[in-house]
Structure formats: C-alpha cells, structure tokens
C-alpha cells in the first residue's frame, strides 16, 4: 500500500482543518516546500497537495506552491482543490502535478470531467469522492448532495475511472481512525484503486487499511501532531 502524506494549502502555508471547516484552520508550517522536503528525506515518494483556497474560490489558486515543490523535490504529486476548467487542469499539469483530483467537478459537471478523463487517461485523473453520511459533498465540503458515495464511484468506474480518493468527512482531522467499514464496502463492490483519506491516527490504522485492500492511504494531521513519525512512515513505504 502506498503511503501519501498530505499538505493542505491556505495563503501559501501548510495548514490542517477539522472536518473541512475553514474556521478550524491551524497553520503547521509557513513553508510547504520545507515540509515536502522533510517527507522526501524520509524516503517518501508521494504527496497529496490540496489547494484549499482553490476549493473555496472554485479555481486554482496555489499553483506556485505546486511548482515550487515539484521543481525542488522528486515527489510524485497528486493535486486537487479548485480544478473547475480546462485551464485549471492545464495549469496544474504544467506546474508539476503527476495526477489531479476532481471531486466537485465530477459531481456537478460530469461532461467536463469525463473530457479530462478521455484526454489525460485514467492514470492521470483521480475521482474525488468526499462524503458525509455516505452522501457526496462538494465545493470544499461546503455543499451536500443526495448522491450515495458508492453509486457515485460505481458510475464513474463504468466510465473508465481507475483511482478514487474517498474521504469520510466525519473522520477528517479527528484522529479517531479511518472509515474502514465504508472502504471495505467500496472495495467489495467496485473494482477501483481506492485511496483512503481521513481519520488515520496511528500505524495500526494504516495496517488495517492495507489489510482491507486499499491501494493507498493519505496521512495528514497524524504526522503534524506527531502521532506518527516520518521514520515510522518510511518503514511502510
């Protein structure tokens, strides 16, 4: 299972939110590049980079941070947040993203999202399936819907999606364990490469996600709050 540390960006700084609530913003480092270099020095190969300003503004904002990290490390970056147009996606790839994640756009404009899938391929385009009480949430988790998360993933899987990042918003930033039951159900029902996100608090949580069959797991707050050390993560990479 791949281990993917996360860096969330607001105003060019590395921050974390709780349950996606912008009022809970906590700055962990003024320099996302410094954080990324620490990940790379520990032997980590992947990075989940989220433009929270972009998610709120509905267009890419922190592409300069993406470029800085991509230019100064060898991390393979998947980038999300605010990708709503062909130009946004072009900017993301031109600034060093290896993959991009589309969540709100997939829920609200499937025609455009599928055009990206056709143009760039299933190795480049990740489906973001963020949910609360199993219902897909959009616009930086500020809006809810009536779409069931498994129905959402299944539909896109039939259209060619291979990678899915699924975040259970109720678990995000809570450090109380991942949504193992939901992930087990997804893996049992849909043939996708599932990337688990939200709730990881300790190494045991990662071991359980691997046992379930997740292709990868994203780790954020547990690193910044020293619940999991980079040395411990490196042994799982």
| pLDDT for res 109 | 95
Which pLDDT does position 146 carry in this prediction? 83
Both tokens of 198, joined, read 């939200």
- Round the average pLDDT of the chain to a whole number and report it: 94
Give the mean pLDDT of 167-193. 93
Residue 140 pLDDT > 70, yes or no?
Answer: no
Enclosing domain of residue 175: 2-236
Residue 139 has pLDDT above 70, yes or no: no
pLDDT of residue 143: 67
pLDDT on residue 142 = 66
Residue 141 has pLDDT above 80, yes or no: no
Looking only at the bridges linking them, the beta strands covering 125-132 and 99-102 are parallel
Task: Report the number of distinct structural domains present in the chain.
Answer: 1
* Residues with catalytic roles: 8, 130
Q: Check: pTM over 0.85? Answer yes or no.
A: yes
107 Cβ neighbours under 8 A, 6+ residues apart: 136, 138, 145, 147, 152
Coil, strand, or helix at residue 179? coil
| Residue environment code for 63-84, b if the CB has 16+ CB neighbours within 10 A, otherwise e | bebbbbbbeebebbbbbbbbbb
The predicted-structure confidence for 22-67, as pLDDT tens digits, reads as follows 889 899 999 999 999 999 999 999 999 999 999 888 899 999 999 9
**Residue 150's domain is classified under what CATH number?**
3.20.20.70
């Amino acid at each position: 299972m791949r281990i993917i540390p996360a860096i969330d960006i607001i105003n060019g700084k590395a921050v974390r939110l709780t349950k996606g609530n912008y009022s809970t913003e906590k700055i962990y480092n003024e320099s996302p590049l410094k954080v990324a270099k620490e990940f790379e020095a520990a032997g980590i190969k992947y990075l989940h980079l989220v433009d929270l300003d972009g998610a709120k503004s509905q267009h890419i904002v922190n592409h300069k941070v993406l470029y800085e990290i991509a230019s100064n490390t060898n991390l393979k970056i998947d980038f999300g947040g605010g990708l709503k147009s062909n130009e946004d996606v072009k900017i993301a790839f031109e600034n060093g993203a290896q993959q991009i994640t589309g969540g709100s756009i997939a829920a609200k404009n499937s025609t455009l999202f599928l055009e990206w899938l056709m143009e760039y391929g299933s190795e480049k385009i990740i489906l973001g399936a963020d949910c609360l009480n199993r219902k897909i949430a959009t616009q930086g988790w500020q809006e809810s819907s009536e779409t069931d998360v498994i129905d959402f993933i299944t539909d896109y899987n039939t259209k060619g999606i291979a990678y899915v990042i699924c975040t259970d918003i109720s678990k995000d930033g809570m450090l109380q364990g991942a949504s193992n039951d939901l992930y087990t159900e997804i893996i049992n029902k849909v043939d996708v490469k599932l990337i688990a996100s939200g709730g990881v608090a300790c190494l045991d949580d990662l071991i359980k996600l691997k046992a379930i069959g997740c292709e990868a797991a994203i780790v954020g707050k547990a690193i910044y709050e020293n619940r999991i050390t980079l040395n411990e993560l490196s042994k799982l990479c």
